[in-house]
Amino acid sequence: MTVIRNDEIRFGKPTLKGTRITVEDVAETFYDVGHSVSQIAEDYGISESEVEEALRHHNNNLSQQDVTV
């Protein structure tokens, strides 16, 4: 598993193991900025599979959140 949580790293937000890069950082760069997986990997110095893992983690957590209307 590439994504971990540690209360001492980035306030316990999910991060990529061995980095201080949060799942949120990756998701924002992909969805809001519009960078490709390969661009994000190059920009952050991580592998494309780590980017994909972060995006999967982000999307899985979105689908598990309660939606209140």
Q: What CA–CA distance (Å, rounded) separates 4 from 15?
A: 5
Given the structure tokens 């920009």, which residue do they identify?
43
Q: What CA–CA distance (Å, rounded) separates 4 from 14?
A: 5
Average of pLDDT values for 20-28? 97
Tell whether the model's pLDDT for residue 63 goes beyond 60: yes
> Looking at residue 69, what is its pLDDT?
44
Single out the residue of 66, 68, 51, 58 nearest to residue 16, CA to CA.
51
- Domains in the chain (CATH in brackets) are 3-62 (1.10.10.10)
Q: pTM value?
A: 0.86
Average of pLDDT values for 25-44? 97
Average of pLDDT values for 30-50? 97
